[in-house]
């Protein structure tokens, strides 16, 4: 079985969020089941040296005004197809934003190009490699099913995965012609979203199957509160949609052999976690304490993540004598809010604004609990890392958070199955209660240690979900 993944980011090469972790991990899990996944990615500067080693397997003189080639290369255990189109991808800034933090004005061209090349490769092959199924991810790959459809040729079946429906890739309708999209596909049942051209919308309308990254989010997407205007289409397509839970790369996230921790630990040697804890306290200039938990946040600082609620809940956390270490970047007001909170509560709240992968590992290793008060969360990965590192997740009961954390209610405590704390609704009051509950549990060391061990036993790898993707592909390929 040969599958073409089409995506805009991939660990360990380029990452802005959980999408990258997933694209870097699923192909390896599928390879163990005998599936050959090739990942088509833009050759951003971060991939230049890998691309230089690659063999040209596809080329054109004209991809939206410039020449382009696809180079095939093996790197970090992945089979990559790197789309080299310097006019589109070879630039500074980040992969989506210019150096002023604005969307690149030609993001429509950049990702329509990715989709067009994916569809041409799907039809005629990259060299002699031709996929049985094309599996696109998020709006950046949304036009793949549309381009395949307008080709009028027999083509591989398509899957589109929604990693976050909040990002839809909306552009002006005039771009339909500019991007070479068949105007016949631009209508409310197709690529049109309230007068705009919607890349994600097009993908959801025309893909053979839709997946999203947790069963609860698959149900939530049918509701106006979560569907972001696409709930009608989601309902129409509900029989073609399935929620397959994300996993994590348990080699990269392994508390026993994590190079970013001062000392490895496992569920039989939990004590060694205290060395990481001390390192986190020191790194965030927090004063040591053993009677209350060290909470952490590792997140984009946005409204989605509910961190404005956490700012409001901080007095409760401080009153309990707990500590908070925050790593993240994003909305200016949230960055400022956490910086101010840290200045006003020295020794109790520490903040690092930025993106720091090794520090994220250290915090998972050394914190007692990780706070994730998201308003919506398609799957969420940081709670899965938390489970694996015995850092108990304190989460809003939504999306993948609801599907992966077992709340410490009385029944779960009696059976020893609790792995964290869930709260609902997503309000400051409920979050405050959850913080209190967590502090109460932490004050019972035996209960806490049982929860840590249950968390660390919870299956967070890709085995089950990779098998689910495989059966989806098999069904589609007939
Ligand atoms: P989303 O994709 O919505 O941002 P996820 O929980 O699915 O949320 O994935 C976020 C990923 O990004 C995780 O791997 C997390 O560890 C990482 N991450 C988020 N913010 C930071 C940061 N400031 N520094 C390092 N890693 C981060």
At 66, the pLDDT band (50, 70, 90 cuts) reads: very high
Euclidean distance between CA atoms 352 and 329, whole angstroms: 8
At 9-35, the pLDDT tens digits run 999 999 999 999 999 999 999 999 999
Q: Using alpha carbons only, give the angle 262, 263, 265 rounded to the nearest 5 degrees.
A: 140
pLDDT of residue 121: 98
Quick one: what percent of the chain has pLDDT higher than 70? 100
Pair of tokens at residue 270: 């939990």
For ligand 1, atom 17, name the residue with the nearest CA. Answer: 17
Q: Of the residues 12, 17, 335, which should be mutated to test ligand 1's pocket, given the most ligand atoms within 8 Å of the CB?
A: 17
CA of 327 to the centre of ligand 1 (A): 10
CA of 95 to the centre of ligand 1 (A): 16
Please identify, by atom number, the ligand 1 atom nearest to the C-alpha of residue 382: 6
302 close to ligand 1 (CB < 6 Angstrom): no
- Residue 277: Cβ-neighbour burial (10 angstroms; 0-12, 13-18, 19+): buried
At 246-265, the pLDDT tens digits run 999 999 999 999 999 999 99
Concatenating the DSSP letter of every residue in 67-126 gives EEEEEEEEETTEEEEEEE-HHHH--SS-SSB-TTSPBPTTHHHHHHHHHHHHHHHHHH-B
Q: What average pLDDT does this structure show over 347-352?
A: 98
| H-run or E-run covering 192 | strand 192-193
Pair of tokens at residue 213: 């990254």
Calculate the CA 305 to chain-centre distance. Answer: 13
CB atoms within 10 A of CB 436: 16
pLDDT of residue 136: 98
Euclidean distance between CA atoms 157 and 379, whole angstroms: 25
CA of 359 to the centre of ligand 1 (A): 12
At 300-323, the pLDDT tens digits run 999 999 999 999 999 999 999 999
Euclidean distance between CA atoms 379 and 462, whole angstroms: 13
Q: Is 381 helix (H, G, I), strand (E, B) or coil?
A: coil
CB environment 11-40: b (16+ within 10 A), e (fewer): bbbbbeebbbbbbbbbbbbbeeeebebbbb
pLDDT of residue 132: 98
229 close to ligand 1 (CB < 6 Angstrom): no
**What Å distances lie between residue 415 and 395, 434, 465, 476, CA to CA?**
21, 21, 26, 41
At 168, the pLDDT band (50, 70, 90 cuts) reads: very high
Cβ-Cβ contacts under 8 Å for 282 (sequence gap 6 or more)? none
For the whole model, what pTM was predicted? 0.96
At 426-440, the pLDDT tens digits run 999 999 999 999 999
Which of the two residues, 183 and 101, has the higher pLDDT score? Answer: 183
At 72, the pLDDT band (50, 70, 90 cuts) reads: very high
210 close to ligand 1 (CB < 6 Angstrom): no
Euclidean distance between CA atoms 425 and 306, whole angstroms: 12
């Amino acid at each position: 079985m040969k599958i073409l993944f089409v995506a805009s980011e991939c660990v360990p090469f380029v990452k802005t969020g959980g999408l990258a972790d997933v694209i870097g991990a699923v192909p390896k899990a599928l390879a163990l089941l005998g599936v050959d996944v090739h990942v088509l990615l833009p050759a951003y500067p971060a991939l230049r040296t890998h691309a230089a080693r690659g063999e040209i397997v596809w080329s054109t003189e004209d991809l939206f005004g410039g020449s382009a080639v696809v180079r095939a290369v093996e790197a970090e255990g992945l089979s990559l197809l790197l789309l080299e189109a310097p006019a589109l991808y070879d630039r500074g800034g980040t992969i989506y934003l210019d150096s002023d933090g604005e969307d690149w004005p030609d993001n429509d061209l950049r990702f329509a190009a990715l989709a067009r090349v994916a569809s041409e490769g799907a039809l005629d092959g990259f060299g002699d490699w031709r996929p049985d199924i094309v599996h696109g991810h998020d709006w950046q790959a949304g036009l793949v099913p549309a381009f395949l459809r307008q080709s009028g040729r027999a083509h591989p079946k398509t899957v589109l995965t929604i990693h976050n429906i909040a990002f839809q890739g909306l552009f002006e309708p005039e771009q339909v012609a500019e991007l070479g999209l068949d105007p016949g596909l631009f209508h409310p049942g197709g690529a049109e979203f309230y007068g705009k051209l919607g890349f994600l919308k097009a993908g959801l309308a025309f893909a053979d199957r839709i997946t999203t990254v947790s069963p609860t989010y698959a149900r939530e997407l049918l509701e106006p509160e979560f569907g972001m205007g696409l709930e009608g289409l989601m309902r129409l397509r509900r029989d073609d949609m399935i929620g397959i839970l994300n996993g994590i790369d348990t080699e990269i996230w392994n508390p026993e052999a994590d190079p970013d921790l001062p000392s490895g630990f496992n569920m039989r040697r939990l004590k060694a976690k205290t060395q990481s804890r001390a390192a986190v306290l020191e790194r965030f200039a927090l004063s040591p304490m053993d009677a209350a938990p060290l909470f952490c946040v590792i997140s984009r600082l946005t409204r989605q993540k509910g961190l404005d609620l956490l700012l409001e809940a901080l007095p409760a956390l401080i009153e309990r004598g707990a500590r908070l270490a925050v790593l993240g970047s994003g909305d200016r007001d949230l960055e400022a809010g956490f910086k101010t909170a840290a200045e006003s509560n020295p020794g109790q709240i520490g903040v690092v604004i930025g993106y720091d992968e090794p520090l994220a590992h250290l915090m998972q290793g050394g914190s007692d609990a990780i706070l994730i008060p998201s308003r919506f969360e398609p799957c969420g990965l940081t709670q899965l890392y938390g489970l694996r590192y015995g850092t108990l997740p304190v989460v809003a009961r939504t999306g993948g958070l609801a599907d992966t954390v077992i709340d410490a209610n009385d029944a779960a405590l009696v059976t020893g199955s609790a792995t964290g704390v869930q709260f609902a609704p997503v309000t400051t009051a409920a979050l405050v209660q959850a913080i209190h509950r967590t502090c109460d549990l932490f004050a019972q060391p035996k209960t806490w240690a049982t929860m840590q061990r249950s968390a660390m036993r919870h299956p967070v790898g890709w085995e089950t979900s990779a098998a689910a993707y495989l059966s989806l592909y098999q069904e589609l390929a007939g």
